[in-house]
Chains A and B, each alone.
Chain A
Amino acid sequence: MDLAEIMQVYFSASMIKPIFIRTARAVCAQDSFSSNDLLQPVRTLSGNRFTYLEPNYQDYFTIMQLRRMSRITRLGLVTAIECLRDAGDTQPEAIITGTGKGSLTDTEKFIHSVREFAEGTLNPSPFIQSTYNSLNGLIGLHHQINSYNSTYVHSGFSLEHALLDAAFQLNEQSIQTALVGSFEEMTPEHYIIKEKLDFWKKEIDGPDAIMKSSPGAISGEGSFFFFLDYQQGAAPLQLVDLTLLFEPGEGAVLHAMDSMLEQHGLGWDQLDVYLSGRNQDSRYEHYYEKVEQRLSATTHQLHFKHLSGEFDTAAGFGLWSAVRMAEKNQLFPSMIRKQGSTQSMDYMLLYNQYYGKQHSIYLLKKT
């Protein structure tokens, strides 16, 4: 590893002081929403696109309200509402979201209507909802939350930068609580665009295809919200540290993990759970393989993208799983790839990368 790489890793170590995650909610291709866990058998998915198992919106909104909201707006809003309800606090002091693509449905609808009506009189609703921070505004409106509010739109770092922004403010105690979340959808049109950019697997045969290594990933969707607190209270999980690496060299990821663990006085054999964003995309698997080689036999190895598919903010599915497994004190059976020897689940490491560019490493601790 050259000096520049070492410097990069050194620089990114220990970005935050620890904060607590009080509640977490998830909507994705699995039935993660109704019970808020995945202890039950999972849905068997096939094909090259995993899509949302959508909640029953009529439990939340009137028909009139629903008519005005697009797909991802409804989804994101419901996820946020339940996360706040679980937390027993509808007045967080910040609302911060991350999304790689925002409401694609609205963006596309508006592009089409500009052409169809030759730039004439157009319905402004899709334009308004295509704005990346429109969901933030709607969450605020729903509960009358006057607070700090921001939206990160940086691909595979979107959720992590939202978490980091909240962590900074919790650390400096300018706020005591924050609602942080991500939302992502895939549309048939955008699937084609990303297909041309070689995002997806070419051939899918049978339900095991997702487990086979080949160039490309399976497309997925997910919306995740977290209630963050500077105090422990009843929070099941602590976000101890977060390290982000942009286009790191081959050895930089392991080096970052080494220094992160060292910084917190931990050895590899003290990791009880490893949550991996591995998605069987053969072009970037070497990053994950290197980490797996380093793991101790005590550590349970869990994967999650065979259940959700791949998307910019998919690490949120891993983080939601960590929170809920900590709360239930039980691993999600469908995620276990390799059973470890440990009986405890104190420390968890979550590693995710998005097409080799944005890498994130979360160090988590069960309270």
Chain B
Amino acid sequence: MPSVFITGMGIVSALGNGTAIQREKLAAGVSGLGPAAFLNSIHKTEFPFGEVPFSTEELFSRLAEYSKLQQSRLQALGALALEECFTGLEQKPAGIRQGLINATTVGGMTDIEDRYFELIKPEQMEPDMSWAAGLDCATGTEHLARQFDLTDFVTTISTACSSSANAIQFGARLLQQGVLDRVVCGGVDSLTRFTVNGFNSLKNLDRNACKPFDANRNGLNLGEGAAYLLLESERTLEKTGNKPLAILSGYANFNEAFHPTAPSPEGLGAYEAMKRTLEKAGISPASVSYINAHGTATLNNDEAESMAIHRLFGKTVPPFASTKVYTGHTLAASGAIEAVFSLLSLQHQEIYPALNFETPIEATGLIPCQTYRQMQVEHILSNSFGFGGNNASLLFSKYD
């Protein structure tokens, strides 16, 4: 398979806007979790959230250009990450076919839910109703694609919590099949009352900051944000002259038919996704420097993921941790957000500390890396697992 190079990245999360602040806080072990300020929900202070610390107006004020966007938190978050993705790079080089593969779980629900009940009254009309299209997942993606000149191919993927990991895989295929010369892949989700109550109804939310891979973990914290990677083929690099940040050297998606929302206890899906990713890259488990775990801190996920890691890596499990305790679970954005974290580790040859860990899970005894560490980082395996048994893994490798 032709190589896929990553030449740009951009991110906004509870840690702040841009890659620099993410790295600073990850290295210092500072979490972005806290009470929500902008989420419109009675639960906003009851649970910790990974809310991006700016109002929607503030998000827009940080953008250089937003004439083609709608008044939408989802689109503002996406645009901030896309803008950074093109920092120092030409946005639309002549003769280059470029597209956007976006991911989201509920599209513009945040922007619509407060006005939904007016929206469904037939008599209530405004001169401009175009905001009403926000419930369609395609709407935000298309506005972002137009704003950033990414219209040669535009799509949106929604496979719950693995959405943007799948977006990165599909983008890689579009390059490898020669449909596009370069492609921006990633995802965006904004906190919504809809999703907060959804996870609360599943009794999946921890009232305290989550404890990934801890025996006494008690659920996840929800977050929001956006992240995108710019992928280019080798031929495109010759034209753009861009210097790769890293290589996407492997990827796989494997669905386990076990339960609508829970993984199998032995983590079959997680195991297969990781194993197939390494096989595609042609590297052995022993070559993996670090695992960026899905690690949502739900009872089911962390147990299943631990079992799968244990089975694949045997007695020599590489350092691993989950960054959900920094950003909250950003759902469709999480795969791309954690891809950016993985690229930071590769770039700076460092790994970041797990927070809130005390007691290992009994069945596996796995202990995440709890200190900031400078070390040789060659290959990072990043996991994203979702509802419906959807498991996706990505392998990022150092570019020399």
Residue of A nearest to B386 (CB): A133
A193 proximity list for chain B (CB < 8 A): 119-120, 132, 135
Give B185-206 interface residues, CB cut-off 8 Å to A.
Answer: 193-194, 197-198, 200-202
Chain B residues 132 to 157 lying within 8 A of chain A, measured CB to CB, are 132-133, 135-138, 141-142, 145, 151-157
Q: Does A61 sit within 8 A of B, measured CB to CB? A: no
Write the nearest CB–CB distance from B2 to chain A, whole angstroms. Answer: 11
Q: Does A59 contact B (CB under 8 A)?
A: no
**CB contact list, A130-162 vs B, under 8 A:** 130-134, 136-138, 140-141, 143-155, 157, 161
Give CA–CA (A125, B95) in the complex, Å.
48
User: Please, which residues of chain B bring their CB within 8 A of the CB of A247?
Assistant: 151
Nearest to B169 among chain A residues (CB) is A150
Who on chain B is nearest to A10 by CB? Answer: B97
Contact assessment for A140 and B130 in the assembled complex, using a CB-CB cutoff below 8 Å? no
The reply to whether B43 and A119 contact each other, CB–CB distance below 8 Å, is yes
Report whether A128 and B120 are in contact in the complex, using a CB–CB cutoff of 8 Å: no
The answer to whether B158 and A148 have CB atoms under 8 Å apart is no
Give the distance in Å from the alpha carbon of A127 to the alpha carbon of B331 in the complex. Answer: 14
On whether A136 and B388 interact (CB within 8 A), knowing A141-B260, A146-B254, the answer reads: yes
Q: Which of A12, A133, A145, A244 contacts B387 (CB 8 A)?
A: A133
The reply to whether A119 and B193 contact each other, CB–CB distance below 8 Å, is yes
Q: How far is the CA of A172 from the CA of B251 in the complex (A)?
A: 14
B137 and A146 contacting across the interface, CB-CB below 8 Å: no
B288 to chain A, nearest CB (A): 22
A18 to chain B, nearest CB (A): 14
B255 to A149, Cβ gap below 8 A?
A: yes
Asked if A111 and B113 make an inter-chain contact with CB atoms under 8 angstroms apart, the answer reads yes
Q: How large is the interface on B (under 10, 10 to 19, 20 to 34, 35 or more residues)?
A: 35 or more
Q: Are B260 and A150 in contact (CB under 8 A)?
A: no
Q: Would A168 and B173 count as touching, CB distance under 8 A?
A: yes
| Chain A contact patch, size range | 35 or more
A15-B177 contact in complex given A147-B255, A149-B255, C-beta closer than 8 Å:
yes
The answer to whether B122 has its CB under 8 Å from any CB of chain A is yes
Chain B residue contacts of A152, Cβ below 8 A: 155-158
Chain A residues, Cβ within 8 Å of B34: none
Indicate with 1 or 0, residue by residue over A95-108, a CB within 8 angstroms of chain B CB atoms.
Answer: 10000111000000
In the complex the two chains form, what is the Cα distance from A171 to B178 in whole Å?
Answer: 12
Chain A residues in 8 Å Cβ range of B152? 8, 11-12, 246
How far is it, in angstroms, between the C-alpha of A143 and the C-alpha of B255 when the chains are bound?
Answer: 12
Whether a CB of chain B sits under 8 angstroms from the CB of A343 is no
Contact A197 B129 (CB under 8 A): yes
The docked-state distance in angstroms from the alpha carbon of A136 to that of B163 is 14
Give Cα distance in the complex from A2 to B141, angstroms: 26
**Would A149 and B390 count as touching, CB distance under 8 A?**
yes
- Bound together, the chains give a CA A107 to CA B102 distance in angstroms of 21
**Interface: A118 (CB within 8 A):** yes
Contacts of A137 in B (CB 8 A): 255, 257, 260, 387-390
Tell me what chain B mostly uses at the interface: helix, strand, loop, or mixed: mixed
Contact of B388 with A131 in the complex, beta carbons under 8 Å: yes
- Check B194 against A150 for contact (C-beta < 8 Å): no
At the interface, yes or no: B20 with Cβ under 8 Å from chain A? no
Interface string of A14-42 (1 = CB under 8 A from B): 01100000000000000000000000000
CB of A310 closer than 8 Å to a CB of B: no
Q: Do B198 and A150 touch across chains, with their CB atoms under 8 A apart?
A: no
Q: Is the CB of A114 within 8 A of B255?
A: no
For A246, the chain B residues whose CB sits under 8 A away are 142, 145, 151-154
| A143 contact set on B, CB distance < 8 A | 257
Find the B residue at minimum CB distance from A129: B260
Q: Are B42 and A119 in contact (CB under 8 A)?
A: yes
Question: Is A196 in the interface zone, CB < 8 Å from B?
Answer: yes
Please state if B170 and A131 are interface contacts (CB–CB under 8 Å): no
Is A149 within 8 A of B253, CB to CB? yes
Interface contact A100-B136, CB-CB below 8 Å: yes
Judging by beta carbons under 8 Å apart, are A145 and B179 in contact? Answer: no
Report the bound CA distance from A152 to B141 in whole Å: 12
The interface residues of chain B lying within 8 Å CB-to-CB of A153 are 104, 107, 137-138, 156-158
Nearest A residue (CB) for B198: A127
B253 partner, pick from A111, A114, A148, beta carbons under 8 A: A148
Q: CA of A242 to CA of B133 in the docked complex: distance in angstroms?
A: 27
A122–B202 Cα gap in the complex (Å)?
A: 9
A314 to B235, CA, bound (A): 37
Q: Would B122 and A133 count as touching, CB distance under 8 A? A: no
Tell me, in angstroms, the Cα distance from A95 to B166 when the chains sit together: 14
Q: How far is the CA of A127 from the CA of B135 in the complex (A)?
A: 15
Indicate whether B234 reaches chain A with its CB closer than 8 angstroms: no
Contact B157 A151 (CB under 8 A): yes
Verify B197–A119 contact, CB threshold 8 A.
yes
Closest-CB distance, B314 to chain A (whole angstroms): 23
- The residue on A at minimum CB distance from B160 is A131
Whether B254 lies near A148 (C-beta < 8 A) is yes
Interface residues in B30-75 by Cβ distance below 8 A to A read 41-43
- CB nearest to B151 among chain A residues: A246
Given the interface contacts A114-B193, A133-B386, A165-B170, does A196 sit within 8 Å of B157 by beta carbon? no
B92 to chain A, nearest CB (A): 11
Q: Are B261 and A155 in contact (CB under 8 A)?
A: no
Q: Are B97 and A11 in contact (CB under 8 A)?
A: yes
Minimum distance in angstroms from A122 CB to a CB of chain B: 4
Question: In the assembled complex, how far is the CB of residue B178 from the closest CB belonging to chain A, in whole angstroms?
Answer: 9
Write the A227-269 contact mask toward B (1 if CB under 8 angstroms, else 0): 0000000000000000010110000000000000000000000
Given contacts A150-B159, A157-B155, contact A128 B261 (CB under 8 A): yes
Picked from A111, A146, A172, A244, the residue with its CB within 8 Å of the CB of B256 is: A146
The 6 A-B residue pairs whose C-beta atoms are closest, nearest first, are A137-B388, A149-B255, A127-B198, A155-B138, A124-B201, A132-B158
Q: Please give 14 more A-B residue pairs, beta carbons under 8 A apart, in addition to A137-B255, A150-B170.
A: A101-B136, A110-B194, A118-B42, A127-B198, A132-B160, A136-B255, A137-B390, A140-B389, A146-B268, A155-B138, A157-B155, A193-B119, A193-B132, A197-B130
Q: Which residues of A contact B (CB under 8 A)?
A: 7-8, 11-12, 15-16, 95, 100-102, 110-111, 114-115, 118-119, 121-124, 127-128, 130-134, 136-138, 140-141, 143-155, 157, 161, 165, 168-169, 171-172, 189, 192-193, 195-197, 244, 246-247, 357
